[in-house]
Amino acid sequence: MKLFLMTLCILFTLGCSNTPSSDEWITLFNGKDLDDWTVKIHHYEAGHNYGNTFRVEQGMLKVRYDQYDFSDEFGHIFYKTPFKNFHLSVDYRFSGEFEDNAPSYALLNSGVMFHSQSAGSQNKEQNWPVSVEMQYLADLGDGKRTTGNMCSPGTNIVFNGKVYPKHCLQSSKKALPKDQWVTAELIVKDSKITQLINGEVVLVYSNPTIDANDQTVKGAAAEFTQGGKALDSGYIGLQSEGQPIEFRNVRIKLLE
């Protein structure tokens, strides 16, 4: 009996040591390659990194369009594992010249998608993943923009106790200049989402669900258009929208 109990204790200890605690940061992007990530670009099958859009250079994950003429090849690169409750931290920096053929709203615009469908579940002609986005914007020089916003392709969220009726919800943080590194954090705990820019809480909302009436996403499979279905977990994806951008220090804490 003593031997049995000792064996259980050892197994329990080993099991706990392999489970990341909320105090441990897990690196998602290793600065060397994209082995743990899958690209999905509009008009192309999952896994096809058209035009080398997503690439690793100088330890950064870069988004570039120098090998094709961008028009509507909106893309994302998704980490291999879905997450439920987590604290995500990403450094981003806008750089380079905006693609002239891209829509004007995409100027100095990118983001991170979460609670998203996977790359492989998206149809070839699907333009956006059903997900929630923490949107990143850079200042256009007029001081009107904010960053750390929320956008909701194919989804709804609750803000101030009500379903928010618009596609994007502005944060309280003024957008920062181009070519400046910014740290964006996303804390998702149960149904509550908290967004931070450079350590400052800029937006809080909750209860993401699928919106069957949303017209933003085109070409999604029926299982991702079930109105009212709660989104309490999913994949994390970094965005390509026509504006060159760099990402680094992509890491996550798992929350119990």
Q: So what's the pLDDT on residue 77?
A: 98
Q: So what's the pLDDT on residue 97?
A: 96
How does pLDDT run along the chain (256 residues), one tens digit per residue?
Answer: 444 444 444 444 444 434 445 579 999 999 999 999 999 999 999 999 999 999 999 999 999 999 999 999 999 999 999 999 999 999 999 999 999 999 999 999 999 999 999 999 999 999 999 999 999 999 999 999 999 999 999 999 999 999 999 999 999 999 999 999 999 999 999 999 999 999 999 999 999 999 999 999 999 999 999 999 999 999 999 999 999 999 999 999 999 8
Q: So what's the pLDDT on residue 23?
A: 73
Q: So what's the pLDDT on residue 22?
A: 53
pTM over 0.75: yes
The residues pairing with 93 across neighbouring beta strands, listed in sequence order, are: 246
Q: So what's the pLDDT on residue 227?
A: 95
Q: So what's the pLDDT on residue 16?
A: 43
